[in-house]
Structure 1
Amino acid sequence: MGSALFYCLLCVMGLFPALSFSQDDFVSSRATYYGSPDCYGTPSGACGFGEYGRTVYDGHVSGVSKLWRNGTGCGACYQVRCKNPELCADDGVNVVVTDYGEGDHTDFILSPRAYTRMAKSGDKAGQLFAYGVVDVDYRRVPCSYPGHKTIFKVHENSNYPNYLAIIILYQAGKNDVLDIQIWQEDCKQWTSMRRAYGAVFDMASPPKGPVSLRLQVSSSAGYYTWVEAWNVIPSDWKAGVIYQSDIELK
């Protein structure tokens, strides 16, 4: 086992929280892991989350394939537990989708930190890594970000005032963001932004003045709702800057 991996095992052991989910609605699949020098995620993930996608949930993140859903799956949380009773903890690990990835008939490609958290102990984690690919059960669970409301980040590729791209951070609950619309004051109507890729939505020639947004959100119960955030981004917005909102998806 390499020294970097050994360090990861030491730094995450003892962080196994007790989960209180029922045992219903799990789906059988397989999971593997990707290489990472510090065992966290990657800032270049296909969702467009950047550094947030590297460290969110203490780096317990995953790339997914069929759960990607053309980028709608970005930000969703899953409980993933491996099926080997000798090596694996009963509750497994909760991960956030931050990337797209295809493996050997796998639904999850986990960060090394997340893969380690599926094991019972550090010694068992080393054996788990030796397998490379393991059978797992998974299910969708609510994302939880205590102390955080929904944040809108102006993507680094934005170019004031001609091109605006945004991405949502701290997407709590079991919600999917299906559409983001921007308020056009001159014609008094909402206009949909384009899903550029992953969780990044953009618009050329955005309206002048403070930016108001509304999100079309779907819940696990199957219903849709609109959540509005008025004047959430100032008129002099800057690329790469994060703007706090008063909304909290649950």
Structure 2
Amino acid sequence: MGVVLNYHYCLFSLMLLLPALCYSQDTFTCSRATYYGSPDCLGTPTGACGYGEFGRTVNDANVAGVSRLWKNGTGCGGCYQVKCTVPKLCSDDGVNIMVTDYGEGDHTDFILSPRAYLRLARADAAAQLFAYGVVDVEFRRISCKFAGYNNLMFKVHEHSRFPQYLALVFLYQTGQNEILAVELWQDDCKEWRGMRRAYGAVWDMPNPPQGSITLRFQVSGSMGMKWIVANNAIPADWKAGVAYDSAIQLY
């Protein structure tokens, strides 16, 4: 019942969507997808990637939880083109989604936001597709692209406590890259200290270095395997909840 009531609102919202934020590559893989309940058709602020409110509306709320693509949190921030394969009901291009959560369904790789699930369907077949609940799909990895945001940003997680505990979340992760490790430079010891992947896309460290923080992170994907250094990326008086521009682009 809730799906039927929400469907009309989602359909109206779809008319207001901006153009897709991703550009595609690679071949398709067969899988299955379903959707989760949401009264406003958006993402959830409690997603397992740790994005919070960012995860509700990023990519026009075309977001999803994934299972095997989760990769112990490394898959957070990845983008995929997902197309359903039900004859006469599915749109040609499907939907471009961003991974913001972990979830398992009935042998599904994707648990889509209602808005994203709606975009799988042809304009006159959305109600019929919602009635399926779970549909066969094909998907491929694509490069993320965010309108108005070219640079990677480091957000100090709201749970951080200055200066004793620092947690970071990486936002606007473009390209097809995955972040494998993060380290902070300890100037007094002249060495790199590794951050812990707390969960999803959240990296943390107790007793972080004092002063402005230089960090480096290891990426794997469209940029190859490499370490990228962000000098003085986070100010000495960093604040919880604030996002800082890295001036770094991942392509």
Shorter-chain TM-score range: over 0.9
CA contact (8 A) 2:45 2:54 kept: yes
Which range moves more in the overlay, 184-193 or 165-174?
184-193
Candidates 41, 44, 47, aligned match of 1:42: 44
Equivalent residues, number: 247
Which consecutive residues of structure 1, in runs of 5 or more, have no partner in the other structure? none
Shift in Å, 1:226: 1.1
1:136–1:241 Cα change, 3 Å? same
CA contact (8 A) 1:13 1:117 kept: no
* Partners of 2:126 and 2:169 in 1: CA distance: 34
Shift in Å, 1:20: 7.1
Partner of 1:224: 225
CA contact (8 A) 2:85 2:136 kept: yes
Shift in Å, 1:21: 4.4
CA contact (8 A) 2:4 2:127 kept: no
Q: How do residues 20-169 of structure 1 correspond to structure 2 at under 5 angstroms?
A: 21=24, 25-121=27-123, 123-148=124-149, 149-169=151-171
* Partners of 2:23 and 2:31 in 1: CA distance: 22
* Aligned CA-pair RMSD: 1.7
**1:177 and 2:179 aligned:** yes
Which consecutive residues of structure 2, in runs of 5 or more, have no partner in the other structure? none
Q: How do residues 14-25 of structure 1 correspond to structure 2 at under 5 angstroms?
A: 15=17, 21=24, 25=27
**Would you identify which runs of 4 or more consecutive aligned residues in structure 1 move more than 3 Å?**
13-22
CA contact (8 A) 2:49 2:73 kept: yes
DSSP-derived class of the 1:6 partner: helix
Partner of 2:194: 192
Shift in Å, 1:204: 0.5
Partner of 1:239: 240
* Partners of 1:30 and 1:232 in 2: CA distance: 40
Shift in Å, 1:13: 3.8
CA contact (8 A) 2:18 2:60 kept: no
Q: TM-score, normalised on structure 1?
A: 0.94
DSSP-derived class of the 1:25 partner: coil
Sequence identity (%): 62
Offset from partner CA, 1:95-133 (integer Å, 9 cap, x none): 000000000000000000000011110x31111000000
